[in-house]
Amino acid sequence: MNNDAIGVFDSGVGGLTAVKELNRLLPNEDIIFFGDTARIPYGSRSKETILKYARQDVNFLRHHKIKMIIAACGTVSSTIGSKPLVDDMPFTGVVLPAAQAACGATKNGRIGVIGTPATIRSGSFAKAIKNINPKAAVIGNACPLFVHLVENGYTQRDNKITKLAAEEYLTPIKNEGVDTLIMGCTHYPVIKDIIADFMGENVTLISSGEEAAKYAQVCLMENDMLTESTEKGHNTFYVSDSTELFEENAKHFLCHKVNGEVFSCNLEDLN
């Protein structure tokens, strides 16, 4: 057993979709979340910059007592590929868990992937899916505006701007006849209803953040690293920009007000 916290990081607040699922699956676990809100989005950065930021995010989490790290960021997960950022504790990104879920859900073997430009450019989800099911057809498309729309609160199901963006991005994937769609950025589940309305009821949506949380649960159980505590776990949040803006945005991902302490850190603290 291990009573240390689970560390989760993201380029912004999208990784809170993983935190929300962790709270549901493992209610007794403490969670430390870091959101690099001062440097979002990572998806439009170079590979070298993304790796630099990711290592800094990991180093920040390691200043706390943690037993596992989740890179709840599709861009980071796609950039690092199958190589974990740490080797002395369990680690997962969102790519493999989402790929496994998609391969288990698809009936016709046609799987769509949406994500940031860096995620789609990397081809990471397609590689992971092909390793599981070599016969699968994978159709990807970048959705660069989705993160900005979510971050700025354009999330209502009937929002005309976001619906228009969804039509633009999702039409090529829908036309390919996919029956499963991976939301490869942890921001995207916030507009899940808009995506689902356009794709239709016969398409299964896979949340990469939720699948990473499920993967983490199994990993901790198999390694006998779950907490001994029978009390409700604590969430602690750190951000590299405004705590007020974080709390305002976070409620869209958590579906409730932030239930934990929120602290601001300087970018210098990440080095």
Q: Average pLDDT of 207-224?
A: 96
When pLDDT is averaged across residues 31-49 and rounded to a whole number, the result is: 91
| Same domain membership, residue 233 and residue 174 | no
Residues 78 and 137 reside in one and the same domain: no
Lowest pLDDT segment from 143-147, 228-232, 250-254: 250-254
Collapsed DSSP state (helix, strand, coil) of residue 239 = strand
What pLDDT, on the 0 to 100 scale, is given for residue 101? 98
Round to the nearest angstrom and report the end-to-end CA distance of the chain.
31
Question: What's the CATH code of the domain at 147?
Answer: 3.40.50.1860
User: Is the predicted pLDDT of residue 46 greater than 80, yes or no?
Assistant: yes
- pLDDT tens-digit map of 157-171: 999 999 999 999 999
Same domain, yes or no, for 203 and 231? Answer: no
H or E segment and range at residue 37: none
| Residues involved in catalysis | 73, 185
Q: Are residues 18 and 70 in the same domain?
A: yes
Mean pLDDT of the chain: 94
pLDDT score of 43: 83
Regarding predicted confidence, which is higher, 219 or 40?
A: 219
- Do 100 and 195 fall within a single domain? yes
User: Do residues 101 and 190 share a domain?
Assistant: yes
pLDDT tens-digit series, residues 9-27: 999 888 999 999 999 999 9
For the cut 80, the answer to whether the pLDDT of residue 132 exceeds it is yes
Q: Are residues 204 and 130 in the same domain?
A: yes
Give the pLDDT score at 256.
Answer: 83
For residues 195 and 114, state if they share a domain: yes
Residue at which a domain ends, from 156, 190, 209: 209
- Do 204 and 229 contact (CB within 8 A), yes or no? no
Q: Specify the pLDDT at position 194.
A: 98
- In terms of domains, do 85 and 158 share one? no
Q: Which domain holds residue 114?
A: 95-209
69 and 113 share one domain: no
**Which among 246, 269, 113, 85 is positioned nearest to 183, based on CA atoms?**
113
Residue 61: per-residue pLDDT: 96
209, 231, 250: which is the final residue of a domain?
A: 209
State whether 81 and 100 are in the same domain. no
pLDDT reported for residue 249: 85
Q: What percent of the chain has pLDDT above 90?
A: 81
For 51-108, what is each residue's pLDDT tens digit?
Answer: 999 999 999 999 999 999 999 999 999 999 878 899 999 999 999 999 999 999 999 9
In this prediction, residue 271 carries a pLDDT of: 67
Considering the domain architecture, whether residues 190 and 228 belong to the same structural domain is answered as no
How far is Cα 256 from Cα 186, in angstroms, rounded to an integer? 17
Domain boundary pick from 162, 179, 209? 209
* Number of domains within the chain: 2
